[in-house]
Structure 1
């Protein structure tokens, strides 16, 4: 298996976030080192369309490959890498996930031990503050652990106020087989994908099952200045221990 870290410099909510300093090194560096800590991966590649990110990666000795600027999603960027780098499984780790752990990679690869699984991803129990937060994507699965739906809305809805539904937050880590990547890239952007702004819905809307593994390790994706400060405080606290 190989891991690909899609890395765009253009980001609307937090400009140039992947090169922002986090506890003394670029955000992207934390992600690269975390993914690289997994003993289960054959290789880790940063996939970017930015010459600046290319230069930073080369300076630090991180493996990097230039990809098309036309891609609209990280999955499309991983698909381009899959055209030139052979692997049985491709792992997609977002470049703004500095709290990535080797355990996330292990849980994903465990899902992919079943040869019938085409796409895998992760969920964790949703913290109270995530349940109604549209930036925290929720996922509902069937009894076999396959995704029924991903949404920014609060799902499942607790009509009678029983407090019973277990709600799960989706974590943006993916594992794919090459056939699934090829199929994704050949399909147009789906209606649900466009509505929720969630690329994984293209798989579901086109009948491609997505298996979901559970992890106890939540993450904080960096989308805002506040996220950056929260993770900075966590990392500094860890180092002080």
Structure 2
């Protein structure tokens, strides 16, 4: 199997414009992320795919592999699909551009899913993290996921799922982490399928996969990586970087 990493990198961001080009210890955030993905030694190739000349030039400057999006896209899956449609690959791993501290253990688990799936029953794999804080559980910014007994996703929602009507029943709540590994065929099918009404209502792209019958294997992880969505997150990332030196 040929396994590649794709890092979707939009320049604009509503909460923190230009965040991927912010300085993180002498290098832009997106460069830190790219180098961490390469150094993870999990992928045959690592690409950044972007809509920004500034980001394109930053990756090109360090000799990295970078592709320019030709279209406007609603989500990262669409941006990646456009980039890989003509590439000879089997598995595509979506690495978040704003998470420069790569969680290699969790990514290894995602890749292993496909190495052991000899019947090719799994279309994509993703991560979930247990939540215990009630504020986190109620927060609509945290996408929740419920799974069947074989850890295949049943549904994703910004609402609290499952609804805990019977308080005597013990329930765990899980947050979906937006890190994916796809079979190329599933990704291309997604790309050529219009956005579904439920996906549009919830603003959760993986719902489209479920609505068209794709099987999503969920892997539990305990690692909460630093995603840079605000200036405060950048400060936290700078402190972590200093601690790693």
Say whether the fold is shared (TM-score over 0.5). Answer: yes
Structure 2, unaligned runs of 5 or more: none
5 Å matches for 1:21-170? 21-113=23-115, 114=117, 115-128=120-133, 129-162=135-168, 164-170=170-176
Partner of 2:241: 235
Where 1:112 maps in the other structure, the secondary structure is helix
Measure how far apart 1:17 and its partner are. Answer: 1.0
Inter-CA distance 156–99: structure 2 relative to 1 (3 Å threshold)? farther
Inter-CA distance 236–194: structure 2 relative to 1 (3 Å threshold)? same
Structure 2 CA distance for aligned equivalents of residues 56 and 62 of structure 1: 9
Report the TM-score, using the length of structure 2 for normalisation. Answer: 0.90
Measure how far apart 1:90 and its partner are. Answer: 0.7
Structure 2 CA distance for aligned equivalents of residues 208 and 143 of structure 1: 17
Inter-CA distance 228–144: structure 2 relative to 1 (3 Å threshold)? same
Partner of 1:189: 195
User: Is the Cα contact below 8 Å between 1:123 and 1:212 reproduced in 2?
Assistant: yes
User: Is the Cα contact below 8 Å between 2:103 and 2:225 reproduced in 1?
Assistant: no
Tell me whether 1:204 sits opposite 2:218 in the alignment.
no
Structure 2 CA distance for aligned equivalents of residues 171 and 125 of structure 1: 11
Report the TM-score, using the length of structure 1 for normalisation. Answer: 0.92
User: Is the Cα contact below 8 Å between 1:74 and 1:94 reproduced in 2?
Assistant: no
Structure 2 CA distance for aligned equivalents of residues 194 and 95 of structure 1: 23
Structure 1, unaligned runs of 5 or more: none
Structure 1 CA distance for aligned equivalents of residues 189 and 211 of structure 2: 12
Number of residues paired by the alignment?
A: 239
User: Is the Cα contact below 8 Å between 2:124 and 2:186 reproduced in 1?
Assistant: yes
Structure 1 CA distance for aligned equivalents of residues 156 and 22 of structure 2: 29
Deviations 1:114-135 (A, max 9, x none): 1221111111222525222222
Deviations 1:18-54 (A, max 9, x none): 1112233211122212221222310000001111111
Inter-CA distance 180–47: structure 2 relative to 1 (3 Å threshold)? same
Measure how far apart 1:69 and its partner are. Answer: 3.5
Structure 1 CA distance for aligned equivalents of residues 149 and 6 of structure 2: 30
Structure 2 CA distance for aligned equivalents of residues 62 and 126 of structure 1: 36
